[in-house]
A and B are shown apart, each in its own frame.
Chain A
Amino acid sequence: MNVPDISVYYFGAISLVLIGLYAVLVKKNVLKILVGLSIMETGVNLLLISIGYISGRSAPILSEGVTASRAVDPIPQALVLTAIVIGVATTAMALSVAIILYEKYGTLNVEEIRRLRG
């Protein structure tokens, strides 16, 4: 069989996204769903970083011996820095909601948290 030539970074990143998506869709515990969301965000960040990687070059900090032509693409790193912060903020927000849910319902099972219907 012909194995497609795909870099291990892309493969790993997409796998992480899919693992996270699986956890969100299948797990019943709110905390496990949130862990799944975090894994998904990590995968996306890894994908962004690997898109900017150019084989054999160093970090994009211009210092002695490193010129602009010897550095990897700096833009995805700025994007990921932003995306990480956003991910952490969302997770913190979601965890505080999980605390309220546990206080009000006494459970973290999504099948029992069903007061809104219609």
Chain B
Amino acid sequence: MNAQYASLLIAVPLISAFFVPLIKGFGKRTVKYYLMLVTLVQTAIAGAVFVNVYRTGEPMIVMAGGWKPPVGINLYVGPFAALFVLIVAIMSFFMAVFSLKAVETEPIDKYAMLFLLLMLGSTGMIATGDIFNLFVFMEITSITAYALTAYNKTGEAAEASLKYMVLGGIGSSFFLIGVALIYGATGTLNMAHIAQLAGGINPTVAQIGLALLIFGLAVEAELFPLNAWAPDAYQAAPHPITAMFSAFVVKAGLYAAARLLYIMQNASGWGSVLKMVVIMAALTVFVAEFSALRQRDVKRMIAYSSISQVGMIAFALALGTQAGVEAGVFHMINHAIVKALLFLAVGYVGITLGGTGIEKFSGLGRRMPLTAFVITVGSLAAVGIPLFNIFWSKIRILIAGVEAGYTWGVALILGASVVEAVYYIRLIHTMWFGEGEGRIRENLAIGTIALFLVLLILFIGLYPNYFWTVSQKAGQDIFNVVDYVKNVPLMGVGS
């Protein structure tokens, strides 16, 4: 079958984003339904690509303009990319439905356009096989993310957006310096070609170049010293956008960091970069959990919790073993589901009751039983209680960590999990045993999405093996660089 139709994953959101100003004339509701339609089409394409990649076991390689890599840019839709492109599309669809209710005051046309471009940027970051193209997609993602953070025209939103922009600007400059160093040393920008040549790079250049690339991506991936923007942006952004940030924008950054780490695994000095990432990730988990403990705003609390889970994923991805990478991918799927659910439910409470301070959640179990139930399931899953999905991925990460010899990191994560349990149980207690009366009618569409995500959490919790085999395949896609290089049809150019 012709693999080129996978390029529609990039083309459809891009062209639909350009049509938004034309649709605007038909009114606000039309734009919202248009957004739902486009994300649904994207989900269909991503589903077709996913089925194709997993049925044949072969990655789909899109060659831009028919030029073979490394001369042309190629998209590499392997098992990992196919899986995550599907997750991006499904989550975007859910958030497009949520936007029907959640975005009322500000202009909808700009929102729809930025929403589609955010989806495009994340898809591109996951699918691309070229480091400069990765930079361009990363900038598409981050510029739309800056704009969407500042979308509610309040002082807080502008402040959060400015923090994000300054950090993101520094990060992207460092990333570009890293690209320049790698290009100067190898003369190529294609990831497969770099993987071939990585062994011959001067060790200092390889180390500094890779560290700068990881440093630049760490802003997007919210690793410890560079994640100060994240809780503010999560708190100030519109509710659907917050869910998108945590469900897939972070994942795109993490994946890109992991991909770049593993394609350079032949370079000397690789191990020390890996160690740096492990330390950053363990600190992310620890600092974020303790910051979450003292939050009064529930959305901000969940934002910190999301950052700590991301740290756990980065920890697993940087262990340098196959078991670690597979566990990390599994945790990425689970975290996307759970955090989308939590931000959806908390955002829904925010728009219904006006605000997400902890006092609004008092007695929510009597006022909005369905929403409270959904938040309860999400919280228990996030802590990693058995029978819920995160239990399985967390335990695999911990086992992989012990096997790789990072006992101190595992101890740190386990200690942080206790802290996580404390603040989630405090939230659950407030919801079910707090004061509060007056039943509020809940929205059907949002309830359906939330219940679907709850069922998914319970399903993965009871039968983890279906998703575990999928994430094993996806993990091998990242870890096994030899196969990756073999799959990309490199043109014989003098190296």
Spell out A's residues near B (CB within 8 Å): 17, 20-21, 24, 30, 33, 37, 40-41, 43-44, 47-48, 51, 75-76, 79, 82-83, 86, 89-90, 93-94, 97-98, 100-101, 104-105, 113-116, 118
In the complex, the answer to whether B166 meets A86 with C-beta atoms within 8 Å is no
In the complex, the answer to whether A118 meets B156 with C-beta atoms within 8 Å is no
Among B176-184, B331-339, B380-388, B479-487, the stretch that binds chain A is B176-184
Neighbour of B231 across the interface among A33, A115, A118, CB < 8 A: A118
In the complex, the answer to whether A116 meets B236 with C-beta atoms within 8 Å is yes
Give 13 A-B pairs besides A93-B165, A101-B158, A104-B154 with Cβ atoms closer than 8 angstroms. A37-B166, A37-B170, A75-B183, A83-B135, A89-B139, A94-B146, A97-B165, A98-B162, A100-B150, A101-B159, A104-B158, A105-B155, A118-B297
> Can you list, as one digit per residue, whether each of B167-205 has a CB less than 8 Å from chain A (1) or not (0)?
011101100110110011000010000000000000000
B146, B173, B291: residue with the most chain A Cβ atoms closer than 10 Å: B173
Cα–Cα, bound, A104→B157 (Å) = 10
Instruction: Please judge, given known A-B contacts A41-B169, A93-B165, A105-B155, whether A116 and B180 are in contact too, CB under 8 Å.
Output: no
Cα–Cα, bound, A75→B193 (Å) = 16
Q: Count chain B residues whose beta carbon lies closer than 8 angstroms to a beta carbon of A.
A: 41
Residue in A closest to B177 when the chains form the complex, CB atoms:
A44
Instruction: Please judge, given known A-B contacts A97-B150, A116-B236, whether A30 and B162 are in contact too, CB under 8 Å.
Output: yes
Cα–Cα, bound, A20→B169 (Å) = 11
In the complex, the answer to whether A47 meets B177 with C-beta atoms within 8 Å is yes
In the complex, the answer to whether A75 meets B189 with C-beta atoms within 8 Å is yes
Cα–Cα, bound, A41→B177 (Å) = 10
B189 contact set on A, CB distance < 8 A: 75
Cα–Cα, bound, A118→B295 (Å) = 7
In the complex, the answer to whether B176 meets A116 with C-beta atoms within 8 Å is no
In the complex, the answer to whether B161 meets A97 with C-beta atoms within 8 Å is yes
- Is B456's CB within 8 Å of the partner chain A? no
In the complex, the answer to whether B291 meets A82 with C-beta atoms within 8 Å is no
- Is B273's CB within 8 Å of the partner chain A? no
A86 contact set on B, CB distance < 8 A: 136, 139, 143, 172
A34 to B: closest C-beta gap in Å: 8
In the complex, the answer to whether B136 meets A90 with C-beta atoms within 8 Å is no
A41 contact set on B, CB distance < 8 A: 169, 173
Neighbour of A40 across the interface among B165, B169, B296, CB < 8 A: B169
Neighbour of B143 across the interface among A43, A48, A89, CB < 8 A: A89
Spell out B's residues near A (CB within 8 Å): 132, 135-136, 139, 143, 146-147, 150, 153-156, 158-162, 165-166, 168-170, 172-173, 176-177, 179-180, 183-184, 189, 231-232, 235-236, 291, 294-297, 300
In the complex, the answer to whether B159 meets A115 with C-beta atoms within 8 Å is yes
In the complex, the answer to whether A93 meets B173 with C-beta atoms within 8 Å is no
B159 contact set on A, CB distance < 8 A: 101, 105, 113-116
Residue in A closest to B155 when the chains form the complex, CB atoms:
A104
Residue in A closest to B301 when the chains form the complex, CB atoms:
A118
Instruction: Please judge, given known A-B contacts A17-B177, A118-B231, whether A90 and B169 are in contact too, CB under 8 Å.
Output: yes
In the complex, the answer to whether A48 meets B161 with C-beta atoms within 8 Å is no
In the complex, the answer to whether B146 meets A93 with C-beta atoms within 8 Å is yes
In the complex, the answer to whether B162 meets A101 with C-beta atoms within 8 Å is yes
Instruction: Please judge, given known A-B contacts A37-B166, A101-B162, whether A93 and B143 are in contact too, CB under 8 Å.
Output: yes
Neighbour of B179 across the interface among A33, A79, A93, CB < 8 A: A79
Cα–Cα, bound, A45→B457 (Å) = 46
Cα–Cα, bound, A65→B179 (Å) = 32
Instruction: Please judge, given known A-B contacts A37-B170, A83-B176, whether A90 and B297 are in contact too, CB under 8 Å.
Output: no
B168 contact set on A, CB distance < 8 A: 90
User: Could you write out 17 A-B pairs with CB less than 8 Å apart?
Assistant: A20-B173, A37-B173, A40-B173, A48-B180, A51-B184, A76-B180, A76-B183, A79-B179, A83-B176, A97-B158, A101-B155, A105-B155, A115-B156, A115-B159, A116-B160, A116-B236, A118-B291
In the complex, the answer to whether B165 meets A94 with C-beta atoms within 8 Å is yes
Residue in B closest to A104 when the chains form the complex, CB atoms:
B155
Instruction: Please judge, given known A-B contacts A17-B173, A115-B159, A118-B295, whether A90 and B183 are in contact too, CB under 8 Å.
Output: no
B295 contact set on A, CB distance < 8 A: 118
Residue in A closest to B154 when the chains form the complex, CB atoms:
A104
B155 contact set on A, CB distance < 8 A: 100-101, 104-105, 113, 115
Cα–Cα, bound, A28→B232 (Å) = 19
Cα–Cα, bound, A66→B329 (Å) = 51
Cα–Cα, bound, A112→B232 (Å) = 16
B217 to A: closest C-beta gap in Å: 16
Cα–Cα, bound, A83→B176 (Å) = 9
A115 contact set on B, CB distance < 8 A: 155-156, 159
B494 to A: closest C-beta gap in Å: 14
Cα–Cα, bound, A115→B172 (Å) = 27
In the complex, the answer to whether A48 meets B176 with C-beta atoms within 8 Å is yes
Residue in B closest to A115 when the chains form the complex, CB atoms:
B156
Cα–Cα, bound, A75→B159 (Å) = 37
A97 contact set on B, CB distance < 8 A: 146, 150, 158, 161-162, 165
Neighbour of A116 across the interface among B143, B153, B156, CB < 8 A: B156
Cα–Cα, bound, A79→B160 (Å) = 30
B183 contact set on A, CB distance < 8 A: 51, 75-76, 79
Residue in B closest to A99 when the chains form the complex, CB atoms:
B158
Cα–Cα, bound, A43→B154 (Å) = 34
B179 contact set on A, CB distance < 8 A: 48, 79
**4 closest pairs, A vs B, by CB?**
A104-B155, A100-B158, A51-B184, A37-B169
Cα–Cα, bound, A57→B173 (Å) = 28
Residue in B closest to A25 when the chains form the complex, CB atoms:
B170
